[in-house]
Chain A
Amino acid sequence: MGTYIIRRLLLVPVLLFGVTVLIFGMLQFLSPVERSALYVRDIPKNDNAINGIIKTYGLDQPLYVQYWRWMVGRTDTVTGKRTGGILFGDFGYSRTASTTVNNLILTRFPNTLDLTLWAVVPVISVGIWLGVQAAVHQNGFIDQAARIFSIIGTSFPTFVFGLLMLLIFYANLQWFPPGRLSDWASQIVYSSSFHHYTSLLTIDSLLNGRLDIFWDAMRHMLMPILTLSYISWATFVRVTRSSMLETLRMEYVTTARAKGLPENVVINKHARPNAMLPVVTLAGFQVITLLGGVVITETVFNYPGIGQAAANAAAQLDVITVLGFAIFNGLILILANLVVDVMYAFIDPRVRLS
């Protein structure tokens, strides 16, 4: 198991190198002037000043020099101050958000993470349970109901479902508002008495002992959570069901029954672990998609996550910001895959011991 994980970890820098090369390649579509936003906030209008910046940051140098500078940044020889350098987490300046891309990610990503956690945990647990039940009682009530919901879930566009939710729960019933927090809650959260332990609003509010803020955050998140889980839940049930059906046909399941084991042991201890591999893969994909920012859902509910920020930036051709997000996304993708690989090894001894 140890060597398996080490081998996977060694792959991480290689993959990251690949991601950065790709994105660096895309950056080359920008003119040197536009690329200077990687290092300076305000791009001057004056030609001389622009040429100075291009010289200072080597934007007219050969590609490998530029790549290296893009990675480690430029350290001023006099002041010793470093500007740029994505290895240090400096992705440049976002002109649409009027802050560094870095800062933008730091403020937006916790919101997306918060949403993802609350959407993914119920989806995975309920989805797996329903999928197993549907397979065990094939063509039974749960199976039929799950199938109908799956079809609706996969064929119902997010924005339609989201809009429907808004119409019912916001416009008509006024139960759940869009956005992130009510004004009174925002004032408390951004006051000095509120400690930000994890940056995840729901968890921080619990840690601060403010159940009222937790509830307020939840009220704002419930509609996006439902929208997200409804869509991915359908896929989850389908994959779990088919994987479980296949496993139930395996001979070792008959062996387990022939041993006289009770049916719940046969299903939960013998069949289900074997059916989990494709489900883990799917879970990895889902988490990656959600963490990358769910553009439509966040936009529909005006939820200040990373997807909404990316959509804003893209709409205004703020390439520096978009590519910053792309690097960040690549990092998440690599890490999530690592987690999936480790979980594989955890479930399947054939992976662990080979």
Chain B
Amino acid sequence: DTVRLRFHTFYGTEIDPIIKKFRASVKDASGGDLRVQVFRGGELVASDQLLDAASKGSVDIVHGVGGYWSGQVDIGNIEAGLPGAWTSVDEAKALFASEPVDALLTQAYEEAGVVYLGKGYGHSYDLLTSEPVTSLEDLKTRKIRATSNVAKVLETFGIPTVYLPAQELYIGMSTGVIDGAIYGGPVEYEQLKLNETASHYTYLNMLMPGWTETFLANPASWNELSDEHKAIMETAVAQFAQDIHDWLAEGNQSVIDKGDVFEFSTLPSEDSNAITAASQGVWDEEAGRSERNAEFIRILKENAQAQGRL
């Protein structure tokens, strides 16, 4: 009998080729016994409802970012990526692969009624503005679109932040409702056609990868799978995550290589350091939410010290 799994990602049509490969790999590896039906961002449930959907079984596996459900799971914001938490993909990978962090995530998601399957890693997450930026000082007179913890850090420098949904970014930027946005990397900005309205891309050196992704399963659907099918899914999901990361990395590089899409610059290192220092307030706030968060933050700080950043 064919087993069918409903898989919901937060990405849209831009990753269709990767989805196609993912579905084919599961089908081939299982000899057609296991099939995946993939839903793109918002198709079945809004991204901030993904955790609920997995715990209730509306879908079997979800692919999201901790920030979507940080109001429901204490560690959500921390695992998604706090400013200053890590500076390279290898560092982030090593951190999440370590036994204590893996145990924290497994336990937190078990309590939330889902099975933690693993992580994926995003890419650049920097500032795009219509006017050039040479320092944080420049930003104090501009309205920047940013969300949750990044917004908190900017606010400590007196930079006004605004929340706008992604679909309104283009018009918001072109008409001056906002002067800049922190939303993703070059490839995401180009896809939203923001290069038509704003051409200054500033590396913040705040966080790299700028976000991490999480795969979660409905416990009942997951436990019904045979060990063989579980192994197939784990492999396919890991490859899917890797493919998305590679696609982001290549996409960002190709936008940079085109040369005429954005003008790239980097925030002065003293400003980047100031951001990391200011982030500590946000880290401490997150640590205060629960004992588990305090433990996670302690590990993050230890790691940052070991890397020589703190």
**A and B together in one complex:** no
Binding site for B on A (CB under 8 A): none
Binding site for A on B (CB under 8 A): none
